[in-house]
Amino acid sequence: MKTMGRKAKYSQIEDFFIRNIENGTYVLNQLLPSEADLCDTFSTSRMTVYKAMTNLSNKGYIRRVPGNGSFVDDAYIDPERDLIRKHSLSDEIRAFGMEPGSELLEYEIIQGKDNKQIAKELNVAEDEFIHYFVRLRTGDGKPVVLSYTYINYALLPSLDIRCLQHSFNAYLNELGMKRSSGYTEFSAALPDERQAEIIGSTNKALLRQKIFWRYANKPFEITTHYYLDERMSIVINRDHEDTGDDIYMKTIRHGSDKNA
């Protein structure tokens, strides 16, 4: 490979990837060559490549997924927004001093014709498939949130449902799948039968949060949370100019929505 000035070799490798990521030669979520291949390409040691890739990861140009490799990232564009996007419900439950838990109440694969509104939002045809699952999120073993999730099957054909007993966000991170927010919608709702049974009331208004996610610029997920715990609330961060990705959980509230 052509020598790139007097810069240290690891800096040369960094510059190469920064330039090619910023100019679009490498695109978001693209799998990059292995470290062994980069050693051959740049005629250098594994330690030098490791240092370069670590620096690129720290700068937000790539994300490294153990067992899967390194992928192009876009966190360098707005690091603050990326931190918000990585927030999960488990993180927020933990932030309130509680140990998060997840109980899978229901899981099935449905077709677009079973929920035409959701299918339309996910751009799924009537004969195509959607993962659908319901989870009870807990804090220290007590009900906190009831969540209803729809996932575009074509974008995640293989789903290990064991992950639904823990953090789905962490599972996607392990797969190297990075979602981007489409929109977040808040509204009030009265509890249905299942929710009323959990909170012990049919008249108590619940905070409902509907979140739409994209993956690889395609509709990927719709999740609706019903907050069951009044000790918690939601903070909307508007401290910086953004396009809607700056909403994050800071407290939580109450829990069916198969047809939401």
Q: What is the per-residue pLDDT across 106-151, written as a single tens digit (0 to 9) for each?
A: 999 999 999 999 999 999 999 999 999 999 998 888 888 999 999 9
Please, what is the angle between helix 9-22 and helix 35-42, to 10°?
Answer: 110
Domain with 62 in it = 9-77
Q: Please indicate, yes or no, whether residues 166 and 236 belong to a single structural domain of this protein.
A: yes
For residue 155, is it within any domain?
yes
Tell me, what CATH number does 24's domain have? 1.10.10.10
pLDDT in tens, 60-99: 888 887 677 888 887 777 554 454 455 577 777 776 678 8
Same domain? For 227 and 127 the reply is: yes
> Are 37 and 130 found together in one domain?
no
Residue at 36 is within a domain: yes
Do 216 and 239 lie in one domain? The reply is yes
Q: What is the CATH number of the domain that holds 212?
A: 3.40.1410.10
pTM for the structure as a whole: 0.62
Query: CA triplet 19, 21, 22: central angle to 5 degrees?
Result: 65
At residue 82, φ and ψ (nearest 5 deg) are -65, -40
What gap in Å lies between CA 92 and CA 67, rounded to an integer? 28
DSSP state for residue 162 in the 8-state scheme: G
- Examine residue 231 and state whether it is found in any structural domain, yes or no: yes
Tokens matching residue 189: 């709702």
Q: Is residue 172 scored above 80 in pLDDT?
A: yes
- CA-to-CA distance for 169 and 120, rounded, in angstroms? 24
**What is the number of structural domains in the chain?**
2
Residues 170 and 90 sit within 8 Å (Cβ to Cβ)? yes
